[in-house]
Amino acid sequence: MDKIAIIITLVAAMLASPAVSSADGPQHNRRNAKEVKSAARRDTGQGITNVAITQPARQLYGEWNMFLLQGREISTAQRAYIYLDFNAHKVYGSNGCNDLNATFTLNDDKISFDNFVTTERSCTGQTSERDIMKVLRDVKKYNVTRQGRIEYMHLMNAKGKVMMVLRRQNLDFLNGAWRVKAINGNALSRGNARLVIDVDQNTIHGNSGCNIINGIITIDPSKDFAIEFEDLQSDSSPCPDIDMESNLLLALECAETARPDGKNEVVFYDNENNEVLRLEHIHLR
């Protein structure tokens, strides 16, 4: 069964329910860990582990933020990032000032970028776009580490020196079907509200116990665990639990970050780090 079919099945099930790579050796490992630990400002209580890259097209695809340049945090006028498209073996993104396009070649722990094309806007930033482009052209090798739910790709030159660190976070823990357990810290007396979150498709669907809910998800990759729910809509049919539905929609609109709490729950927080929503994972058979 493909992913779209699985999502449709999850939504249908809820609506039908009653109102209810190996690393490059010890020296590189120590250097990578030191760089990440010195710059990471969150999740510092969790150790750093190496990630074995066995399926690069699956594990490395998508966006990676430019985090460190030769050991210093990158600061640019706009978000600096690359997007690895394994279908076309192309790179898209921004050097913090101008859009960039390139091709890439990847083989085991070797990676290189070629055929760069950029726009020609003029802007300023603490990190020079010229330095970023020079480093990208010099990249020959890579490895990946993880700290908590944050992944780091270390880009190295031909001598194995780390020149740039890319960073991305994994919000896959939000995928799946959920029961609304509490709103604004208040446990629900009746657990009828159900939601299905799909981070890859940027969608949220569900049943408030009163009406069907649909919306889209926006993720800010430059911030830790940042997520927002937008364009939220419901059927607006009158029912006894309409106040609870209104509170649920308001909580979703106020949510700005999400974190797992144990194995079966996730908590959403507002911009002042107040808990606005708590969900409990539904294990569908």
Residues 30 and 163 in one domain: yes
Residue 109 domain-assigned? yes
On whether the CB atoms of residues 70 and 163 are closer than 8 A, the answer is yes
Residues 36 and 69 in one domain: yes
Confidence at residue 32, expressed as pLDDT on a 0 to 100 scale: 55
For residues 228-249, one letter each, b for 16 or more C-beta atoms within 10 angstroms of the residue's C-beta and e for the rest, the string is bbeeeebeeeeeebbebbebbb
Is this model's pTM higher than 0.85 or not?
no
Residues 277 and 236 in one domain: yes
pLDDT by residue for the chain (285 residues), tens only, comes to 444 444 444 444 444 444 333 334 445 445 555 555 454 444 444 689 999 999 999 899 988 999 999 999 999 988 899 999 999 999 999 999 999 999 999 999 999 999 999 999 988 878 999 999 999 999 999 999 998 878 999 999 999 999 999 998 778 889 999 999 999 999 987 768 999 999 878 899 999 888 999 999 988 876 788 999 999 998 878 877 788 899 999 999 999 999 999 889 999 999 999 999 999 999 876
Residue 18 domain-assigned? no
User: Where among 169, 202, 221 does a domain terminate?
Assistant: 169
On whether the CB atoms of residues 207 and 14 are closer than 8 A, the answer is yes
Residue 19 domain-assigned? no
User: Where among 169, 196, 211 does a domain terminate?
Assistant: 169
Residue 244 tokens, joined: 């609870």
Task: Give DSSP secondary structure letters for the chain.
Answer: --HHHHHHHHHHHHHHSS-----S-HHHHHHHHHHHHHH--SSTTS-EEEE--S-HHHHS-EEEEEEEETTEE---SS-EEEEEETTTTEEEEEESSSEEEEEEEEETTEEEEEEEEE-------SS-HHHHHHHHHH--EEEEEEETTEEEEEEE-TT--EEEEEEEE--GGG-EEEEEEEETTEEPSS---EEEEETTTTEEEEE-SSSEEEEEEEEETTSTTEEEEEEEEE-----TTHHHHHHHHHHHHH--EEEEETTTEEEEE-TT--EEEEEEE----
Residues 76 and 206 in one domain: no
Residues 162 and 177 in one domain: no
For residue 144, give the nearest of 225, 58, 220 by alpha carbon: 58
In whole angstroms, how large is the CA radius of gyration of the chain? Answer: 21
Confidence at residue 35, expressed as pLDDT on a 0 to 100 scale: 53
Residues 70 and 184 in one domain: no
User: Where among 169, 198, 215 does a domain terminate?
Assistant: 169
How far apart (Å, rounded) are the C-alpha atoms in residues 145 and 37?
A: 12
Residue 237 domain-assigned? yes
Tell me how far CA of residue 8 lies from CA of 48, 144, 210, 258, 280, in angstroms.
37, 34, 20, 24, 20
Residues 204 and 138 in one domain: no
How far apart (Å, rounded) are the C-alpha atoms in residues 126 and 123?
A: 11
Residues 58 and 178 in one domain: no
Confidence at residue 270, expressed as pLDDT on a 0 to 100 scale: 96
On whether the CB atoms of residues 254 and 272 are closer than 8 A, the answer is no
Tell me how many domains the chain contains: 2
Residues 133 and 38 in one domain: yes
On whether the CB atoms of residues 179 and 167 are closer than 8 A, the answer is no
Residues 159 and 182 in one domain: no
